[in-house]
A = this chain, B = another copy of it.
Amino acid sequence: MNDLLSKIIDRNKCLTSKGKVASYIPALKRADPKQLGVCVADIEGNIFAAGDYGQKFTLQSISKTISLMLAIMDNGSDKVFSKVGMEPTGDAFNSIIKLETISPSKPLNPMINAGAIAVASLIKGKDPEEKFNRLLVLLRKICQNDKLSINKEVYLSEKETGNRNRALAYFMKDVGIINGDVEDVLDVYFKQCSIEVDCIDIAKIGLFLAKNGVVLETSERIVEEKVAKTIKSFMVTCGMYNASGEFAINVGIPAKSGVGGGIMAAVPLRMGIGVFSPALDDKGNSIAGYGLLEDLSKELDLSFF
């Protein structure tokens, strides 16, 4: 397996030159576009890894899966999905249009920014710190990694430049999707996006979902099977931004990407996969990470059909 991973890394490394690292904040812009790493954590407890799998990067949109889980644990599915829809969208991840044109106003799904911000507002806690800490504690348990914490520079930059997200949040506040202080809600959201991980960590998230809500190492059930399946459904229909449909066809694995260059994938009942390569394609997905997963899916026949 380690050989296969190395081979696939070699094969996809060339793709890194065709993408571009995210440039909206300095910390992301500094990433080395040539890096590519992968980790496979399978259901027997094996960990395979190759390339730059130890490189740290920020979760960004991958965190939307965790916050959704926590919000459902805190509020139940019905409450959460009264505030955010379940449907994929052909609009951009940061689009505000559907909020205005759909009646009643509601973000289409929890994987676009508007939806994820609405979800963050539902996490319980007496203040933004407590809310974020509960999310961090949950993530540490899933990843079995107590050292996980935020990259402060990224967090501060996100907070400073996140005006499109502010626009989405104030719009939702206006139409009653979000209650409470907007900056407090955004603070949780910016922090969750700024959690620093490596390929092993996100492979563990994938493994946890592959096992439908149970942590392999501890056998602890953290969320109901139904919730884990819900998260995987969203990964299929809207996990790869506006390439989700194409990715389902070409790769066929539930996956969630982030602009930090990570892709977290869950092969039901088989394995979790973590990929990192910061050069992005024009849809915002790691370009070499996408290619690597496509090859891996073919080699190991991972497609869900």
Contact = CB atoms under 8 A, between A and B. Distances in A.
Interface of A: 85-91, 95-98, 100-102, 108-109, 163-164, 166-171, 173-174, 182, 212, 228-230, 232-234, 236-238, 242-246, 248-249, 252, 254, 268, 303-305
Nearest to A283: B87
26 contacts: A86-B245, A86-B249, A87-B242, A87-B246, A88-B89, A88-B238, A88-B245, A89-B90, A95-B100, A101-B101, A163-B170, A163-B173, A164-B170, A166-B166, A166-B173, A167-B167, A167-B168, A167-B174, A229-B252, A229-B303, A229-B305, A230-B249, A232-B305, A233-B245, A238-B245, A254-B305
Contact of A237 (B164, B168, B244): B244
B245 A237 contact: yes
A178 to B, nearest CB: 9
Q: Give the oligomeric copy count.
A: 4
A67 B26 CA distance: 37
Nearest to A161: B174
A233 B97 contact: no
Contacts of A254: 305
Contacts of A246: 86-87
A190 to B, nearest CB: 14
Contact of A304 (B171, B174, B238, B268): B268
Contacts of A228: 305
A282 to B, nearest CB: 13
A243 B81 CA distance: 13
A249 B102 CA distance: 22
B90 A88 contact: yes
A171 B95 CA distance: 11
A167 B163 contact: no
Contacts of A167: 96, 166-171, 174
B100 A244 contact: no
A108 B90 CA distance: 7
B249 A85 contact: no
Report, nearest first, the 6 A-B pairs whose CB atoms are least far apart.
A88-B88, A167-B171, A163-B174, A166-B170, A167-B170, A89-B90
Given A212-B305, A252-B233, A88 B171 contact: no
A80 to B, nearest CB: 12
Contacts of A171: 96, 163-164, 167
A76 to B, nearest CB: 14
Contacts of A244: 87-88, 237
A174 B165 CA distance: 9
A234 B88 CA distance: 12
Nearest to A304: B304
A303 B268 CA distance: 11
Given A87-B242, A305-B212, A174 B170 contact: no
A91 B90 contact: yes
A223 to B, nearest CB: 13
